[in-house]
Amino acid sequence: MIQQIAFVLTLAAAVFIIARRVGTIRKNIRLGRKPLADDRPQERLKNMTLVAFGQKKMFKRFIPAILHLFIYVGFLVINLEVLEFVIDGLAGTHRIFAPYLGSFYTVLMNIFEFLAVAVLLSCVIFLIRRNVIKVKRFWNYEMTKWPRLDANIILFTEVILMLAILTMNATDQLLQQTNGHYTQTGSLFFSSMLMPLFNGLPENTLIFIERFAWWFHIIGILAFSIYITYSKHLHIFIAFPNTYYAKLEPKGHMNNMPVVTNEVKLMLNLPDANPNPAEAGRFGAKDINDLSQLNLLNAYACTECGRCTSECPASITGKKLSPRKIMMDTRDRMEDVRKRIDKGEEAFADGKTLLNDYITKEEINACTSCNACVEACPVMINPLEIILELRRYVAMEESGAPASWNGMFQNIETSFAPWKFSPADRFNWAQENK
């Protein structure tokens, strides 16, 4: 009974903290200007199914894709076992599914254990890739102490959570031999290999280890779920809405600015212009509240894998631009703004802005808009859109574009080409023969 009360309290506390945090994240995303688009639901559902659920884009890099798949399937399937944990915890039962499922329960448990071992090994390999082999994309300059630690905490936690399951099953099987209270699970292949470690221990010790492992696993999972909402690991959930709401136009399409369209129509005296348009607001983006809600959702979907940066031509050739950093900065800025709001301070009055204080002009100016980052992202994040919105602010609100770009603008205005040629010479190619 005490165990049940403790369990209910633990579970309720975790659910409360997570719900509050989810609310905060929603509010943060709604700081963005343009709401999420939900037209063409079939295409969106297809993207979500193939890319998020089906991991389609992960498979461009085979080895990490396979390892990631183990962890992903492990996560999905082992959660079924967590369901049993929760029911047992609430009802005070032990392995409530076992009697109903009979020998199928043995099969299921063996599948879970296989996945637990696969997850464990994959996480170990990932830890080695990050910390021993030092795969380059995990060591770019924006991968400072915290992002690197965050990744290691996640992998390490998953390793010990899996060890807890295996320990629990090993001691449980030993207890099944002597104590009638323990439901027969049948032989579990992987955990039975751990049985010699615990064999010969007094029954009380075994019961303690089994209970400890059970509690460790469930509390571990709940604590990890809370941690995730503050971590890059949030991609396991946000990847789904992120792929659903992702842009459906060809990657080359740049979002239109209807306020500008109206002004241009007024200038050209076009009949369909609205002579009394609403206040235009800021052109482009200087801070997160100028970005779209999709841009902000993107930032929460980013797990900092760095595939974008490793494909970015600017980054490859040593420029300061890193598409991953664009997403990390956007998220950091949202969190910083939220801290101010929570303290009752005016959200954007800290004298800082996303542009300049987080992302510099040198970074956004280095982008070739080649879409390599967009293509590379396994969860359809678009760092390019943020870069282009920041450029819009710089060019239109500050007139701060690089001097050669201002020259190019001038050429287009005066000679209708980005180079300084006479428009009268535009058709000369037909007469020449060089």
Partner 1 sequence: MIAPTLAELTAKGETPEVLFWVGCAGSFDDRYKRVTRAFAKILEAVNVKFAVLGTEETCTGDPARRAGNEFLFQMQAMNNIQVMNAYGVKKIVTACPHCFNTIRNEYRELGGDYEVIHHSVFLQQLINDGRIKMKEGGSYKGKKITYHDSCYLGRANGIYEAPRAVLEALDADLVEMKRCRTTGLCCGAGGAQMFKEPEPGKKDINIERADEALATGATTIAVACPFCMTMLNDGVKNKNKEAEVKVKDLAELIAESQGLVG
- Kindly state the tokens that stand for 287: 């801070």
Beta carbon nearer to partner 1, 332 or 375: 375
430 forms part of the interface with partner 1 (CB under 8 A): yes
37 forms part of the interface with partner 1 (CB under 8 A): no
63 forms part of the interface with partner 1 (CB under 8 A): no
Neighbour-count burial for 69-101, b at 16+ CB within 10 Å, e otherwise: ebbbebeebbeebeebbeebbeeeeebbbbeee
What is residue 232's DSSP assignment?
A: G
The one segment of 68-76, 92-100, 201-209, 307-315 that binds partner 1 by CB under 8 A: 307-315
Distance CA 240, CA 379 (A): 8
The residue type at 136? K
Site for partner 1 in 82-121 (CB under 8 A): none
Beta carbon nearer to partner 1, 100 or 429: 429
Q: For residue 140, is it left (φ>0), alpha (ψ between -120 and 50) or beta?
A: beta
Window 241-270: contact mask with partner 1 (x via CB under 8 A): --------xxxxxx-xx--xx-xxx-xx-x
Check if the beta carbon of residue 284 is closer than 8 Å to that of residue 290: yes
What is residue 320's DSSP assignment?
A: S
- Of 162, 270, 269, 180, the C-alpha closest to 221 is 162
159 forms part of the interface with partner 1 (CB under 8 A): no
**One of 178, 204, 276, 317 touching partner 1 (CB under 8 A):** 317
Distance CA 201, CA 24 (A): 48
Beta carbon nearer to partner 1, 204 or 433: 433
The one segment of 44-52, 116-124, 201-209, 314-322 that binds partner 1 by CB under 8 A: 314-322
Beta carbon nearer to partner 1, 79 or 356: 356
211 forms part of the interface with partner 1 (CB under 8 A): no
Distance CA 420, CA 225 (A): 59
- Kindly state the tokens that stand for 386: 């943020």
The minimum distance between CB 400 and partner 1, in angstroms, equals 9
DSSP element (H, E) containing 250:
none
176 forms part of the interface with partner 1 (CB under 8 A): no
**One of 318, 343, 344, 349 touching partner 1 (CB under 8 A):** 318
**One of 69, 86, 96, 388 touching partner 1 (CB under 8 A):** 388
**One of 84, 287, 311, 385 touching partner 1 (CB under 8 A):** 311
62 forms part of the interface with partner 1 (CB under 8 A): no
Question: How many CB atoms sit inside 10 A of residue 111's CB?
Answer: 14
Token look-up 């075994």 returns 206
291 forms part of the interface with partner 1 (CB under 8 A): no
**One of 294, 372, 377, 379 touching partner 1 (CB under 8 A):** 372
What is the size of the binding site for partner 1 (CB under 8 A)? Answer: 72
